[in-house]
Homo-oligomer: A and B are copies of this chain.
Amino acid sequence: MQLPIDIDRNSSLNLQTQVFEQIRAMILAGQLRAGQRLPSSRHLCQQLQVSRITITLALARLADEGYIDTAKSVGTFVSREIPEQALHAIQGNLVHKTPPDLVAQIRSRLPEIRSHSLVNQHAPRTGIDFWVGRPDARSFPLRTWTRLTNKRLLSAGSALTEYRDPTGVPELRDAIANHLRPARGIIAEPEQIIITGGCQEALNLVSRMLLAPGTDAIVESPGYAGASYLFESYGARLHHIRVDEKGLDVAQLPDVAGAVAYVTPSHQYPMGYTLPLDRRLELLAWAVRTDSYIVEDDYDSDFRYVGSPLAALKALDRANRVFYVGTFSKCLGAGLRLGYIVVPPELMPIARRYKALMNYGQPWLEQAVLADFMNTGGYARHLRKIRQHYRGKRDALLKALDLRFGQTVTIGAEAGMHMVWRTPNHLPPASEIVARVLNCGVGVYDLSPRSAVITSGAPENDRYLIFGYSSLSEKQISMGIERLADELEKTHVLARTRVLAATASKQRVL
């Protein structure tokens, strides 16, 4: 008997593996049956033109894994212990491809899940992209970071190989606690802080703790899609509360017990409003009254260009009703995947257990390097430096808009890394502008899921354009606005030409 084995000498798999895999496949497919005798290794060598050791190793592996039995001086046989019935069951899909109807059936059983994209799927191929929330790659403190990384690697000891406390590296939790008091007015113990995989994981941690199917979850509208979709995935009952020109309209908060409210009071996402003190106090009072929790996402509060930095909502939280979420994705870089959450002390033991069950903590190196960066003053210096840079970019954007569109109305320009432009009424709707300027190599964004924004669909939403300016140079910013204005003027002029032409032809008719 010759086995139909096909040796491919150009394959990246070695000969032994090829022989092993093909005999195994024949046994599993039932082409070789239990108890059947295999050709001797000498015969196999001759047939396949491979060395004796190749065959011996392949057969040894088959024997080790239980596919064949080798009876000394009698021969080699397909194992009799392979359960025929089980074989039939797994043979159903030899092609490793699940049939479409089964796929549909499997998927229909799983809950409907949406997720947001933080990677721009609509970026202009070549050109200028005002995509939101991107730090300037050139501003990353690469030299210092590399130096600190090398220092930490040199003295890593067992830090790279051992499991650690899932809540994070102690020095980093200390450094964050020390940063929060002067910078955000938050008095938090390091023991209340958990290091997370960006702010998204912090939101996920709160969700796992507090959300069950039917739990009331409050989100802002327009608001951050990453929070809405997450709450939705836990089966929460979502309340989309309107954002007006002062931020979240707290008077509209529902009178429900045990809810979770997600808010961005420092610089509302996406609109950029700062929630005023009276609303902050009312929001906190609502949480106490309704026995609810608030999740404060303070994603870009490090950048404030007008006046002093505002204290966080958490700084007012006397009743331990606020989870404070911070991230280093905006002030340093999203590729570090470092964020944190300040947890009310009495919930910390439970939060810690959830973090252990979720992934047992963040990688050590980034945490250790960031702790050193903060403790040696590098972080404060970096913030001062990029605050200056981003202010310049912001000013360039405001200037460019004013230059081409006259007195422009912008929102949220006093802080953060993006602003919103309320377009004049004579311009086309925002969605149309987005599509048109994308064609001329400029990415600007409207309030839509592709910008990680969900809205209630109010008609005025189509007058807003979002501009992330932090990752562009001042030159790119003014060029981008030039191109945008040129493109819009083209139609404007065309429209005017058409009117003139129409008038002319009318005159001709007269």
Contacts and interface: CB of A to CB of B under 8 A. Distances in A.
B94 A359 contact: no
A21 interface: yes
A380 interface: no
A383 B156 CA distance: 21
A338 B445 CA distance: 35
Copies assembled: 2
Contact of A318 (B91, B198, B337): B91
Contacts of A119: 162-165
Interface string A110-123: 10011111110000
Contact of A86 (B86, B185, B282): B282
Interface residues of A, number: 132
Nearest to A283: B86
A252 interface: no
Contact of A319 (B90, B114, B360, B363): B90
A339 B218 CA distance: 34
A90 B366 contact: no
B335 A89 contact: no
Interface string A25-57: 000100000000000000000000000000001
A96 B97 CA distance: 57
A76 B168 CA distance: 45
Nearest to A232: B357
Interface stretch (A64-72, A295-303, A371-379, A402-410): A64-72
Contacts of A88: 285
A504 interface: no
Interface stretch (A142-150, A423-431, A454-462, A493-501): A142-150
A341 to B, nearest CB: 12
Contacts of A153: 142, 145-146, 149
A316 B149 CA distance: 42
Contact of A113 (B28, B308, B350): B350
Interface in A265-304: 276-278, 281-282, 284-285, 288-289
Given A278-B66, A359-B196, A359-B337, A285 B230 contact: no
A163 B118 contact: yes
Contacts of A79: 277
B162 A335 contact: yes
A181 interface: yes
A353 B114 contact: yes
Given A116-B356, A284-B90, A320-B98, A65 B311 contact: yes
A390 to B, nearest CB: 13
Interface stretch (A2-10, A130-138, A433-441, A477-485): A130-138
Contacts of A229: 357
The 3 lowest CB-CB distance pairs between A and B, nearest first, are A66-B277, A197-B359, A89-B285
